[in-house]
Amino acid sequence: MTGSGVTSTVAATPEADTDPRTLLDRALAREPTTRRPLWINRQAGRYLPEYRKLREQHSFKELAGSADLAAEVTLQPIRRFPLDAAIIFADIMSPLPALGIDFDFAPGPVVAEPIRSAADVAALPDADVAEPAPEVIEAIGLVRRELPEDTALLGFCGAPWTLAAYLVEGRGIKDFPLLRAFAAAEPQALERLLARLSRLMADYLIRQGQAGADAVQIFDSWAGLLPRAAWQRLVRPHLESMLVTVGDAGIKRILFVNNAPHLVEAYAELPAEALAVDWRIDLRALQDRHGHRRAVQGNLDPAILTAGPEPTRTAANTLLNQVHARGHIVNLGHGLLPNTPVESVAALVETVRREEH
Ligand code: 1CP
């Protein structure tokens, strides 16, 4: 492609200079911006020396469980790089104690008593009594007060299916065979579990919005485990009802679908302001099909950043040239890897910001 279409879509408008909204807000509305917004999945965490230093004194559970420490970790990458959004430091498991779920991290989530039967699902508390992750809600308030005005704050949650994956399987393992067996043997119990998670996550995301999050990202990291027909029947209705409830509350939604090429078209039909995809997906082709009504987010391969600043710059420039600026939020296609040099992140930030005019 020539690239001329790309430059014409980033033309600055006089209004854009005085618009109090963040770049992320405007990209979510698919309005023209002076440059594309950038934030990075897992931008806080183990690749940062200042995070590793805190981790010498505190477990991950302690960091995520304390509003003060979580706020501090959220702000660490923002102090180092001029990113356009912070994402609250927590885990997709954080709201699950509200359902009486006990878990630890080793380093990923390990559930003490996995859900393996209809009786296990029936035993979950049904009334919406407990407040999901009050420490996360408090941390959002703390970060909001510290964050520069032009930096957006993102809340997040796990999609019902991805949470169910950990709850049924008990931990993250390849292809989640116990989960797929449960979906076949106990479809009604699975649906009851998904419905319960969908309600809890809608409530949790709305609370995050009320506490000061500008938008929320829903991580469906294990979206691709079921074939399309089973996904449509069992999973989609519960994901959709959560997205509708959150949208009706006026909260903007970024829906991340990971490693599910057979479902990307179905995800693009779900109600969300932006669709985020992993690095396997052709983002420009996705934008050509759905960009008239969805912003797109992504999708550099995180592994490229581990190769250093030069490959990072090359890949970032290719992405910027291929994908139209309007309605594009730059990000990786999955989380930063712990062995990423800080210099690669700096190179990515610099490359994206150079587009400004
Ligand atoms: O320091 C440590 O040892 C803990 C590692 C760690 C971290 C930094 C875990 C355990 N979670 C987190 C934080 C986290 N998790 C964030 C905060 C944002 C940031 O770092 O900037 C977010 C958004 C998540 C979301 C998350 N957790 C997802 C969805 C995104 C994705 O990666 O697909 C998933 C699947 C999890 C589960 C989880 N928690 C932790 C790990 C290592 C994992 C995944 C691996 C596994 O299942 O074993």
- For the residues of 213-269, what is the DSSP string, one character each? -SEEEEEETTGGGS-HHHIIIIIHHHHHHHHHHHHHTT-EEEEEE-S-TTTHHHHHT
Nearest residue (CA) to ligand 1, atom 44: 108
Q: 62 CA to middle of ligand 1, Å?
A: 14
Classify the C-alpha dihedral 335-340-346-348 as positive or negative: negative
| Rounded average pLDDT over 131-147 | 97
Residue 108 Cβ contacting ligand 1 at under 6 Å = yes
Residue 60 Cβ contacting ligand 1 at under 6 Å = yes
Which pLDDT score is estimated for 143?
A: 98
Residue 28 Cβ contacting ligand 1 at under 6 Å = no
Which pLDDT score is estimated for 356?
A: 77
Task: Measure the CA–CA gap between 251 and 271, rounded to whole angstroms.
Answer: 12
Q: 7 CA to middle of ligand 1, Å?
A: 36
Atom of ligand 1 lying closest to residue 219 CA: 29
Residue 55 Cβ contacting ligand 1 at under 6 Å = yes
| Rounded average pLDDT over 67-96 | 98
Task: Measure the CA–CA gap between 320 and 284, rounded to whole angstroms.
Answer: 10
Task: Measure the CA–CA gap between 146 and 86, rounded to whole angstroms.
Answer: 11
Short-list 107, 111, 102, CA closest to 171:
111
Atom of ligand 1 lying closest to residue 335 CA: 32
Atom of ligand 1 lying closest to residue 40 CA: 21
Find the Cα–Cα–Cα–Cα dihedral 317, 322, 326, 329, rounded to 10°: -60
Least confident of 81-95, 115-129, 135-149, 155-169: 115-129
Residue to substitute in 61, 84, 92, 151 for testing ligand 1 pocket (most ligand atoms within 8 angstroms of CB)? 92
Tell me the average pLDDT of the chain: 94
User: Are the CB atoms for 111 and 103 separated by under 8 Å?
Assistant: yes
Q: 245 CA to middle of ligand 1, Å?
A: 25
Which pLDDT score is estimated for 95?
A: 97
Distant-in-sequence, close-in-space partners of 169: CB < 8 Å, separation ≥ 6 = 114, 176, 177, 178, 179
- What is the CATH code for 14-353? 3.20.20.210
Atom of ligand 1 lying closest to residue 158 CA: 29
Q: 34 CA to middle of ligand 1, Å?
A: 32
Single-letter residue type at 176:
F
| Rounded average pLDDT over 189-194 | 98
Inform me whether the pLDDT recorded for 12 exceeds 50. no
Which residue numbers are catalytic?
42, 46, 55, 91, 166
Inform me whether the pLDDT recorded for 8 exceeds 90. no
pLDDT digits (tens, 9 = 90+) for 23-50: 999 999 999 999 999 999 999 999 999 9
**93 burial level (CB within 10 Å; 0-12, 13-18, 19+):** buried
- Tokens for 288, please give them: 């050509």
Classify the C-alpha dihedral 83-224-253-197 as positive or negative: negative
Which pLDDT score is estimated for 19?
A: 79
Nearest residue (CA) to ligand 1, atom 15: 91
pLDDT digits (tens, 9 = 90+) for 194-224: 999 999 999 999 999 999 999 999 999 999 9
Residue 35 Cβ contacting ligand 1 at under 6 Å = no
Which pLDDT score is estimated for 130?
A: 79
Q: 14 CA to middle of ligand 1, Å?
A: 40
Short-list 227, 220, 272, CA closest to 245:
272
Helix, strand or coil, per DSSP, at residue 90: coil
Strand partners, 86: 153
Q: Where are the domains of the chain?
A: 14-353
Classify the C-alpha dihedral 227-233-234-235 as positive or negative: positive
Nearest residue (CA) to ligand 1, atom 48: 108
Residue 219 Cβ contacting ligand 1 at under 6 Å = yes
Q: How far is CA 221 from CA 20, 92, 129, in A?
A: 33, 10, 28
Which pLDDT score is estimated for 2?
A: 36
Task: Measure the CA–CA gap between 305 and 290, rounded to whole angstroms.
Answer: 28
Short-list 189, 208, 179, CA closest to 124:
189
Percent of the chain with pLDDT over 90: 92
Atom of ligand 1 lying closest to residue 258 CA: 33
Short-list 286, 288, 283, CA closest to 300:
283
DSSP string, 318-357: HHHHHS-STTEEEEESSPPPTT--HHHHHHHHHHHHTT--
pLDDT digits (tens, 9 = 90+) for 300-325: 999 999 999 999 999 999 999 999 99
Nearest residue (CA) to ligand 1, atom 12: 91
Confidence of residue 5 (pLDDT cuts 50, 70, 90): very low
Q: What DSSP designation does 131 have? A: P
DSSP string, 276-327: EE-TTS-HHHHHHHHTTT-EEEEEE-HHHHHT-HHHHHHHHHHHHHHS-STT
| Rounded average pLDDT over 336-354 | 98
Confidence of residue 79 (pLDDT cuts 50, 70, 90): very high
Strand partners, 5: none
Which pLDDT score is estimated for 62?
A: 97
